[in-house]
Structure formats: structure tokens, C-alpha cells
Structure 1
Amino acid sequence: MTALASRGQLRASVIRWALFTVPACMLLGYLSGALSQSGADNPWFAELAKPGIFPPPMWFGIVWSVLYAMMGFALALVCAAWGARGRTAAIALFAVQFAVNLAWSPTFFAAHQIAGALAVIVVLDLLVIATIALFWRVRRAAALLLLPYLAWILFATVLNYEFLRLNPKADGTSDRGAVQRIEI
């Protein structure tokens, strides 16, 4: 026997990891969006001028659900690669980029910081590229699973920039708690 584990054992390890990582990524992604009131139900966002490339809102939930599942499975592939050189660094960098990912929705939708969200997403772009490079060294399939995520956040970066360009006065504004006073 020349291998530490059989193919069946490795497959079982990936499945066990995926049973944790896929739901965790999806749940955390959902909570980030829901708690920051992202999307059409946000009155501040509803008032913003939308770029011409802004897709129908229904696609965001669908695309992010698929991407979070793919991210979770990519992470499971790397987590199951026991003994692989660079595994720990790849997992750590994934955690950092995922935390930055989760910070974007509260920055944009809750804090109404369009420029701040643009800075967050540019950092995210760079972290995802680095994560893909580290995943490539551990499991190439895991790196490939992150490519649609990279494509989507690069598109989201352009969208974020366009929102800032079209709505410069909305950056950092908040209409929460506004009171209209009328003197008689």
C-alpha cells in the first residue's frame, strides 16, 4: 500500500467537511444580507439611481446561493487535504476573505457607505485572487470552484463603482430617523 488513505476514505472526508462548510457559508452569507437589509426592501437602496448594467434583483439571491455553496465545497476540498503543503495558510486566507465578503453588505446597505463598500470589495478582489492561488497549490478543483465567485465580485466591483458615480450625494447619507418639522 503506497497511500495513506484510500480514495473512498478521501471522498468520505470531503463529504464530511462539505456537510459543515457548505451550510456554514450559505448561512453566514444569508445572515450578512438579511441583517443589513440588503436588496429591494431597503428604502435607501430603492431610491438610488441604478446603473444600466444592474441585473434584475431576483438574480442576486440565486447567484449568491450558488456561489456560497461552491465556496463551501471548495473549502471542504482544501480542509480534507490533510498533510497538503499550504493547507493551513489556504484555510486561513479563505476565512479572512470570507469575513471581508460578509462585511460588504453591512457597509453598503446598512451604513450607506458606497465609497467604503467600494474599498471593501477591492480588498476582497485581491484576497480572492490570493485565495485562489493558495487553493491551486492544495487542490486545483477547489481553486477552479472559486473562479465564478471571482468573476461575480469583479462584476460587483464595477456595479459598486457605478453606484458611487451615479449617486455621489447618497454616499454616507442616512434617512433613518428623519423627522420633518412644520412650523405654523
Structure 2
Amino acid sequence: MRLTQELDARTPVTRWKPYAVSAVAVATSAVLGGAAVDPHSDWYRALRKPPWQPPGWAFGLVWTPLYATIAWAGGHALSRTHGAERRALAVGLGANLALNTAWNWAFFARRSPAAGVVGTVLLDLSNLLLVRRMHRSDPYGARVLAPYAAWCAFATALNVDIARRNAG
């Protein structure tokens, strides 16, 4: 029975399943989060923004490869873990993606830069925990997440500045 399980673990479907699950989760997060974003709304255009904010087109240019790296790193790490460790990593990744999605709804749908600050700080904490957890089983996958964590930290600074400029 054990030999059968080991051989089964080597089938192409089994090898790619963690990547597929991760990719579907990331794509779902991107679509659900993107549904809240309207950078052309009168509300968003009226916000006072810092001069160092990137142009609007840059966000799509950055997020597309970041989402791809999150999906790949998640699949890579999940394929290298088992049992309780795999479940904990999957929960951590899912929570991170939920926070990623929630930020869009807090900032854009609620039209609240202050709520966005709360969301992005929680996302930054989640990124640290996810990278740390992933590093235990897959240091390479954890390193692949570094640009995502760095961009989110930049987004936090940007969100804080926007909230400060538009308070009261």
C-alpha cells in the first residue's frame, strides 16, 4: 500500500495539484478584489495623493506578475509540505489572500483610506507570517514572495500618506 501511495504521489496530476489550487485561489482573490476598484471614480480622483504615487497604469503592471509569483510560491511550498504543516500553510495563504482582497473593499468600496490603512497593516503582518511559515519548508518559495511583501509595504506607506492627506 505504501509503495502505491509513493508512486501515486509522483503522478503529473498530483505534482501539479498544489499549483492549480494556489493559482485558482490567487485568481479568485484578484478578481474579487478587482471588482471593488474604481480608480476613475469621482471619489478616488478627488483624493489628495502624494507626488510619489506611481501612475495608475503601474499598478496593473506590478500586480500581474506579483499575483503570478504568489500563485507559484504557494504551489511550490504546498507541494513540499504534508499533513498539519500543509494545512497550516494553506490556511495562512488563504488568510493572506482574503486580506489582500479585503483591502480593495475597505479602501475603494467603503471609500475609506483609514479603513485601507487597517487592512494594509493587517496584510503586511500576514505577509510576514506567511513568509516565515513558508520559509520553514520552502526557503526558495519564501524568497519568491519577497517582492510581494515589499510592494505591500510600499502600498502601506502610500495608503498612510493618502489617509493623512485626506483626514477630516
Of stretches 127-136 and 88-97 in structure 1, the one that deviates more from structure 2 is 88-97
> Which secondary structure state, in structure 1, belongs to the residue aligned with residue 10 of structure 2?
helix
Alignment of 1:9-88 (within 5 A): 9=10, 13-33=14-34, 35-39=35-39, 41-83=40-82, 86-88=85-87
**Partner amino acid for 2:164?**
R
Residues 78 and 91, structure 1, Cα contact 8 Å, conserved in 2? no
Aligned-residue Cα RMSD (Å) equals 2.2
Number of aligned residues: 163
Deviations, residues 15-71 of structure 1 (Å, cap 9, x unaligned): 3332342244134213312x21332x2221011111111001111112111111111
Counterpart check, 1:149 vs 2:155? no
Counterpart check, 1:136 vs 2:135? yes
Greater helix fraction, Structure 1 or Structure 2:
2
Going from structure 1 to structure 2, the CA distance change for 1:82 and 1:155 (only over 3 Å counts) comes to: closer
Counterpart check, 1:93 vs 2:97? no
**Partner amino acid for 1:118?**
V
> Which secondary structure state, in structure 1, belongs to the residue aligned with residue 69 of structure 2?
helix
How far apart are the structure 1 equivalents of 2:11 and 2:147? 25
How far apart are the structure 1 equivalents of 2:68 and 2:107? 23
**TM-score calculated relative to the size of structure 2:** 0.86
Residues 14 and 77, structure 1, Cα contact 8 Å, conserved in 2? no
Deviation at 1:162, TM superposition (A): 0.6
Going from structure 1 to structure 2, the CA distance change for 1:140 and 1:11 (only over 3 Å counts) comes to: farther
Residues 49 and 163, structure 1, Cα contact 8 Å, conserved in 2? yes
> Which secondary structure state, in structure 2, belongs to the residue aligned with residue 137 of structure 1?
helix
- % identical equivalent positions: 28
Structure 1 unpaired stretches of 5+: 170-184
**TM-score calculated relative to the size of structure 1:** 0.79
